[in-house]
Amino acid sequence: MSGAPGRIRVLVVDDSVVIRRLVTEALAEDPQIEVVGIASNGKIALEKIAQLKPDAVTMDIEMPVMNGIEAVRQLRRRSPRLPVVMFSTLTERGASATLDALAAGASDYVTKPSNVGSFSESQQNIREQLIPKLKALTGTRRAAGPSRVPAPASPRRPRTGPFGILAIGCSTGGPDALARVLPALPGDLAVPVVVVQHMPPLFTRLLAQRLDAHCRLHVREAAQGEEIVPGRVLIAPGGLHLTLRRQKATIVTQLTEDPPENFCRPAVDVLFRSVSALYGDRVLAAVLTGMGKDGERGAVQIRSAGGEVFVQDEATSVVWGMPGAVAMSGQADRVLALDRIGPDLATALSRGPRTVGVAS
C-alpha cells in the first residue's frame, strides 16, 4: 500500500475489533497521519511491518498467538528504531506488562480507554494521548539533515562547594534511560537523588521497584514527608508534584496536587525550582530523553543559582524534546550520549567531602 507523501504511516495492532476501530478512526481525523494496515496479533503484525514498512506501530500487549511484548522483542532485531507505542491498561498487571514492553524496546505507551464513557470520548482520549506521541517519535526518526547543534552554554557563576543533590527529569524513553544511568552511580553516593519521570500513578511505584533491583542505590517511590538522605533515589509518584522543603535540620519531601505544568504532574520544572531554592549552586541536574520542554525553565533557575545541568544528546534520545530544549537554549553545561551520563554524573558527584548541605 502506498500512502500520501509526507504523512505518518501507521500500523494498528490489537486483537479487539472495537479498539482497532477506535484507534483507526481517531487517527484518520488527523491529516498528517494515515493508517496503512491493521493486525490482530503480534505474528501478523511482524508480517505486515515487513510488507508495509510503516513509519510507526501501535501495539496491544495481550493478544493471542503472539503478544505485544514478544512482537516488540522480535521486531527490535530487525528494526531497532521503528517507533512502537504500546496500549496499556491502568492496572497493576497492565503497568507491569508495559514496563516489560519498554524494557523489550517499545518507544512509549498510552493507556487504553476504559469501558466508561462514550465512543467519542474514548476517541478523544486516544487523540490527545496518541497523536502527539506518534508525531514526536516519527519526527525524530524522519528528520532530514544533521543533528541540531546545541547553543553554547550561557555564563553562570562558579560553584562554591561540592554538589549536595542530584535531580533528574525524563519522559518518553525515560524508563530505559534511568535503567542505564542509575546503575552507574556508586552505592556509597554522597548525595540524595530525586527523579521526575512522566508516568501515571501505579506505574511509578513499579518502575521504582524494578530500578531498585538493578541499582546499588536504594530506589523507591517518594512518600509524603520522607527525609531525603544520601544514597537514596526517590521517584515522584504519578499524579503528584514532588518538591522538597526544610524541616528543622533535615530536608523532606512534599507531594502536592497543584495544577499541572507543561501539561504534566509530576513536572520536572516544579522539582528543579524546589531543589534550586534549597541547594543553590550545589545542584547537579540531568535532563534525559522526553517529549516537550519540561525542565527548560527549571534548568534556567538551577544555572542562575550556580548549579550545573547535563543533558542527553540527540543521537541517543528516543525524543530530543526535553533535553533538546535545554541544550538549544544554552542551559546545558554538558551534552552527553546516554552511556556517558551515569559515569560522568558519578565523577562530578564524587568531588568534595561527603556532606549533604542546604543553601542558606
State pLDDT tens for residues 87-145.
Answer: 988 788 889 999 999 999 999 999 886 655 677 787 888 888 899 999 999 985 544 45
Question: Would residue 147 show up in a list of annotated catalytic residues for this protein?
Answer: no
pLDDT at 111: 86
Decide if 173 is inside a domain. Answer: yes
Residue 354 lies in a domain: no
Same domain, 135 and 232: no
Contacts 24+ apart (CB under 8 A), 275-278: 275/165, 275/167, 275/194, 275/244, 275/302, 276/301, 276/302, 276/304, 276/305, 276/307, 277/359, 278/244, 278/245, 278/246, 278/251, 278/358, 278/359
Q: Is 96 one of the annotated active-site residues of the chain?
A: no
137 lies in the same domain as 205? no
Residues of the chain with pLDDT under 70: 1-5, 113-117, 140-147, 352-360
Residues 293 and 193 both lie in one domain:
yes
> What predicted TM-score, i.e. pTM, was given to this entire model?
0.91
pLDDT of residue 146: 60
**198 catalytically annotated:** yes
Q: How many domains does the chain have?
A: 2
Q: Are 261 and 293 in contact (CB under 8 A)?
A: no
Q: Are residues 64 and 120 in the same domain?
A: yes
Residues 130 and 172 in one domain: no
Structural domain including 16 reads 8-142
Residue located via cell numbers 502536592: 256
Among residues 55, 108, 198, 281, which one is catalytic?
A: 198
- Residues 237, 329, single domain; the answer is yes
C-alpha cell at 27: 487517527
Q: Is residue 229 part of a domain?
A: yes
Whether residue 150 is contained in a domain is answered as no
Would strands 56-60 and 8-13 be described as parallel, antiparallel, or unpaired?
Answer: parallel
d(CA 183, CA 251): 24
Note whether residue 38 is domain-resident: yes
Retrieve residue 113's grid coordinates: 480507554
Catalytic pick among 88, 107, 122, 171: 171
Do 16 and 85 share a domain, yes or no? yes
Answer yes or no: do 60 and 194 share one domain. no
Active-site choice (55, 294, 313, 333): 294
CA distance 272 to 284: 10
Closest CA to 242 of 262, 269, 215, 205: 269
- Per-residue model confidence (pLDDT) at position 357: 40
213 shares a domain with 297: yes
